[in-house]
Structure 1
Amino acid sequence: MDRRTSVVGYAQRASKRLSSSIYAAAGAGVRMVSVDPEFDPEYHEDQPVPTRPAKTSSGKYRVSSPDARGSTSWTMFAEADNTENDGVVRNPQQDVVQKDPFSDVYEFGPGDKGDNEDNEDPFTDPMPEQKTVPAPAVTPVAEEPYHVFAKSQKWVLIAIIGVAGLFSGLSSNIYFPALDQIATQLNVNLAAVSLTITSYLIIQGISPVIWGSFSDTLGRRPIYIASFTVYIIANIALSFSPNFAVLLIFRGLQAAGSASTVSIGNGVIQDISPPSERGAFISFYQAIRNFSIAVGPVLGGLLANFLGFRSIFVFLLILSTLVIFMIILLLPETLRSIAGNGSLRLSGIHQPLIQKITKEPEYMQDPDPDAPRRKVTLQTFIDPLRLLAERDILSSLVFGGVVYTIWSMVTSSTTSLFKSTFGLDELQIGLCFLPNGLGTIVGSAIVGKLMTRDYVAAEVAYKMEHDLPLSYKLPAKNVPVDFPIEHARLRRLPWITLLFVISTAGYGFSLATTMTSKPGWIALPLFLQFIIAGTSNAVFALNQTLVSDLCPGKGASSTAINNLVRCGLGAVGVAFVEQMIAAVGPSSAFLGLALVTVICTPLAIINWFYGMEWRADRVERKARVEEMKKVDQKA
């Protein structure tokens, strides 16, 4: 490296001593050359990105394909008798012509003969004579990013979809403080009212598979609008709720409208962000959504205490109407098959109203009318379920589902446990949900920063291992099969899981009747709820980010299948939590749940050791299928 540096320094000093006449002659020749690049290699996939040369009457000037380090070399050479002059490369930054070590040689122009004496290899000869030529006046190639939106625009989008995603958690948690009042006013027992939570979770798990498949095909924006329309209709009916049957049915419809917003939002994040940004975005998105878990029960307690439980649904109706107008006005389509990297011109339902009245950016272009568009078929809804056949994805989903189930059981049992143990009313119970909600926000925010740091560390280690410069960028869509994405995402999981297990076991004992009579004792179970919520949501963020990484191009579908597993298990847990606590008491019940987590932990650990191997196998299988399709099409 020292010898290389000395050669470059020698060449730079020599360039200053050249006569102005040589500069003028070379500059005149260079001004005749123009470069019209067609593609940019920064966010390359696994294939080299071609470039298109601009030609002049006197010759040609070409840009070579990106080399192994992700850079682009300017290649010139002579055509004719002097074959030893092949492979001369100009380095625009150093203004030195050197021998191309990769022999990626193209024709510079007819009749241009080289000078062998000026093309000796500077790395094998002690101090060769260098031919110094001024750098060509070439405009730098505009880099094509993974998405054209600036970082600030992406954060605005995340905020919009985060507000839209509030309703899944808000609709569930705003309801908890009113459970006892609902049972009294509709003349049913508390176990029957708990069925509305179970039905909500079941529909919450199933509906995103349908909505998510539509959004991966038809676009994010139209499915957002459709799902919010369903949600608004459900809230209108729930605002009257004359009996328990209406409440049960339309709570399910409410879940069908609100649950999909989570999976569609994750699809938007995958559309606009490469893996290096995705962890922070998903955690921020989850933190916004989790805000509803913090304030929802407080709002529910206030509304139920002063206006009755039906006022909860009136409030949700007003809020969801405002949000659907915000989506129609501001949210653009992001599905890459429709919007590309954000530079394709949108129309119809995919175009937000704000774009109709504002000046569009200069980079916008018309989409290719002949580009194939995916159609909605039966296969569209089956494909997400195929993800359950992948070992690494299934193990992640099941472990995350178990943690989600235990957290849901802690949350849904709070009303009955705290009302009977501490004698609280609806408003006070609503306030008791605050630590749980704050824990979800804090846990998501902290793990988001940790995930970003871990990914960067893994990326740097990977580059050093493969002798790549730090400026090299990994493929934005599909990470290399030998990149340890599983290690980057799961690095913090052991201590988070340990903290979750300890706090869950301790939570049950904190509610033992012999201790709860002490003044201020209520603070202990509330603090443990904060820890349970923070650690469980940290696990959700880690799991969701990893599953998104393992399912490139299927952001909404991967989240939908995640919801299916989590909410399916959660519905079973919530349905039996009251009976379990009544049978064995809170101490034994939550100790048993902590042990269930310990038993399921190997499902997460196995991905650390075998995840990369399973991922490589999936990529190989996919490549074989694509190859067979090409053969069938040719036949």
Structure 2
Amino acid sequence: MSLSDTPDEAASAIFDHNSHPHEEHHQSHHSHPSALSHLHTDPTATVVAVVEPLDEYKALDKKTSPSTVSKSDALPLASPPSSASPPSSFHATRRPVQKGFWKKRLTIHPGFEGDPREELSRFQKGLILFVISQAGCLGGFSSTIYFPSLVQIAEDLHASRTAINASVSLFILFIGISPLVTSSLSDRFKIRRVIYICFTIIFAAASLGGGFSTSATGLTLARVFQAVGAGGSSVLGAGTYPEEQGTSMGLMFLGQYLGPVLGPPIGGILADAFGWQSTFFFMAIVSIVVVIELFFFLPETYREEPKDVLAAMEEKGEATQGEDLTPRKNPRFNPFQSVLLLKYPVVLLASIETGMVFALMFSIETIAPVLFTNFYNLNETKVGLTYLGAGAGAILGSVLGGKMSDLSLRRGRAKNGGELLLEDRLSFATWIAGFAIVPLGALVFGWGAQRHLSIAAPIIGFAIYNFGMGLVLSAGAAYLVNCIPGQGSSATAAANFLKMVLAFIFSLIAQIIIDHVGYGSYGIIQAAINIVCTALFYLVKLKGTSMRESAVRKEQALSS
């Protein structure tokens, strides 16, 4: 299953912020925290799963208490059937609330009874996936579509490169902040569909504003509101199992990169033929189409579990991995609450690695148009085509990295006698990518540009970098979403926020550094930073279990 940057999440499911995947618990004297929780995507994409796990809450419709539901009853349909079939009470389920066509679409909070993952047909899920994927691509698409015309924009608006780069940097900053706001709004008001539609409308209006901009300041403001609007597509939940999540994250990032890969070629052609303004008008048209599709084809799928059920399961300690079952009364609107998880070393170290490898990549994306225009004399169309190699590398790395991460986790589980240890996900490929592949790509790009070698050198170097980045991100993101039980959504949002802050900083200063030390030295700086951050991440491999246990104890103390 794929998605829409973005990226990217068999995948993560939008269907229910509080939908609960079920998997067999493996308990021992030392149990290791592991969770699959809600996923907030950075910057650009949404992924949807169509796995249909059985839900023990169905049993409650037959007056079955949580304590009577055995773990063997909670088998996912995606798993091979066992000799013991689920009890008949599992077949009892509530049906969606039936309303009129227009009433359902004009009601702000139509509600959904039952479990959207199971009530909706495969066709409905596929249609939702198709629509949400397009909404998720808007951020990634708009983040790069005007890159080939950055030089043209600077000349037309009589602005400095620093001023134009500010529009790039602020976009990536606010696309990291926006998901914090939209996810908090979703949790506060228990809605998802309206948020998708409203924020996509904001994106469409901002795109029109960008096309009519006559100054660097106006363009920058338009880009900020584009980023805010694109963040609405990050409101989603989860529905995969830990052993599948590396692949899910790989697919998430695959989707996230579809926008950035297609953006520059399309933007280059449009800018070359009709001027840079056409790239913004194109995004406005695309987003208006997405709004129409969201209105007609996206149902409201937010569903909150009954408070008494949640409390009962929490008391018995029967929360399945990845579920946040703590009932919350009147949650305060605090979009930055999740960022506080960065105080835990396990979240901070993983976030530094995933954030830095992305941030340095984004800085290359920002400086590439100037390089290929000034040194290789390419027009906007050809500049856009140079990004295809980087996109191909990222897609290949994400898919392979996710699968290798899942394989490593399954092998580790077998060696541990069936016990799931999240650190096993961080496979040998992750360290090869962080210590060797990514630095190699940075050096090839930097020195290829510095020596004015064949244009193939920086293109291949950027592709190598992105391949290694895909390997790192797919494993690192899957680790983050599970590292603190019940806090997967918050941990992912915190990591995404740090990633975008770092991308904002490096995209703003990259050209300044290059103007002072050159492309080759900047490649050395990138390689060195990546090696140091990977070494910090390796501490998670060595000490992650104890760090996670400490974080869980502190979170439990705060919630008690």
Given the two structures, how large is their TM-score scaled by the length of structure 2?
0.74
- The 5-angstrom pairing of residues 115-264 of structure 1 reads 142=91, 147-148=117-118, 157-217=128-188, 218-261=190-233, 263-264=234-235
Q: Are the structure 2 counterparts of residues 490 and 405 from structure 1 closer, same or farther at C-alpha, using a change threshold of 3 Å?
A: same
* Aligned match for 1:460, one of 404, 408, 414: 414
Verify: 1:377 aligned to 2:315, yes or no: no
For residue 300 of structure 1, report the CA deviation from its aligned partner.
0.7
SS at match of 2:335: helix
Verify: 1:570 aligned to 2:503, yes or no: yes
For residue 565 of structure 1, report the CA deviation from its aligned partner.
0.6
Amino acid at match of 2:411: A
Q: For residues 284 and 525 of structure 1, what CA distance do their matches in structure 2 show?
A: 26
Amino acid at match of 1:252: V
Amino acid at match of 2:425: A
For residue 511 of structure 1, report the CA deviation from its aligned partner.
1.6
Q: For residues 448 and 350 of structure 2, what CA distance do their matches in structure 1 show?
A: 31
For residue 606 of structure 1, report the CA deviation from its aligned partner.
0.9
Contact 2:346 2:544 survives alignment (8 Å): yes
Contact 2:254 2:399 survives alignment (8 Å): yes
1:405 alignment partner in structure 2: 359
2:345 alignment partner in structure 1: 391
Q: Are the structure 2 counterparts of residues 228 and 526 from structure 1 closer, same or farther at C-alpha, using a change threshold of 3 Å?
A: same
Verify: 1:534 aligned to 2:488, yes or no: no
Contact 1:454 1:488 survives alignment (8 Å): yes
Select between 324-333 and 415-424 the one with higher mean Cα deviation: 324-333
Contact 2:197 2:294 survives alignment (8 Å): yes
For residue 139 of structure 1, report the CA deviation from its aligned partner.
5.4
Amino acid at match of 1:450: M
Contact 2:21 2:241 survives alignment (8 Å): no
Q: For residues 151 and 225 of structure 2, what CA distance do their matches in structure 1 show?
A: 22
Contact 2:347 2:480 survives alignment (8 Å): yes
SS at match of 2:159: coil
SS at match of 1:413: helix
Contact 1:237 1:250 survives alignment (8 Å): yes
Q: For residues 219 and 385 of structure 2, what CA distance do their matches in structure 1 show?
A: 25
2:447 alignment partner in structure 1: 509
Rg larger for:
1
Contact 1:215 1:556 survives alignment (8 Å): no
2:546 alignment partner in structure 1: 613
Q: For residues 381 and 292 of structure 2, what CA distance do their matches in structure 1 show?
A: 31
SS at match of 2:481: helix
Q: For residues 234 and 610 of structure 1, what CA distance do their matches in structure 2 show?
A: 45
Q: Are the structure 2 counterparts of residues 234 and 334 from structure 1 closer, same or farther at C-alpha, using a change threshold of 3 Å?
A: same
Q: For residues 93 and 302 of structure 1, what CA distance do their matches in structure 2 show?
A: 59
Which aligned runs of 4 or more in structure 1 are off by greater than 4 angstroms? 40-47, 49-52, 62-67, 138-147, 149-159, 371-374, 551-556
- The 5-angstrom pairing of residues 512-523 of structure 1 reads 512-513=450-451, 516=453, 521-523=454-456
For residue 44 of structure 1, report the CA deviation from its aligned partner.
6.7
Q: For residues 193 and 66 of structure 1, what CA distance do their matches in structure 2 show?
A: 59
- The 5-angstrom pairing of residues 215-364 of structure 1 reads 215-217=186-188, 218-261=190-233, 263-264=234-235, 267-268=236-237, 270=238, 272-337=239-304
Contact 1:402 1:569 survives alignment (8 Å): yes
Given the two structures, how large is their TM-score scaled by the length of structure 1?
0.65
Q: For residues 275 and 159 of structure 1, what CA distance do their matches in structure 2 show?
A: 24
For residue 407 of structure 1, report the CA deviation from its aligned partner.
0.4
- Runs of 5+ in structure 1 lacking a partner? 1-39, 56-61, 73-91, 95-135, 341-370, 467-482, 629-635
Q: For residues 197 and 41 of structure 1, what CA distance do their matches in structure 2 show?
A: 38
The answer to which structure, 1 or 2, has the higher relative contact order (CA under 8 A, 6+ apart) is: 2
- Runs of 5+ in structure 2 lacking a partner? 1-19, 28-55, 75-81, 94-114, 308-325
Q: Are the structure 2 counterparts of residues 383 and 189 from structure 1 closer, same or farther at C-alpha, using a change threshold of 3 Å?
A: closer
Q: For residues 573 and 533 of structure 1, what CA distance do their matches in structure 2 show?
A: 16
Amino acid at match of 1:399: E
For residue 486 of structure 1, report the CA deviation from its aligned partner.
2.3
1:422 alignment partner in structure 2: 376
Q: Are the structure 2 counterparts of residues 157 and 397 from structure 1 closer, same or farther at C-alpha, using a change threshold of 3 Å?
A: farther
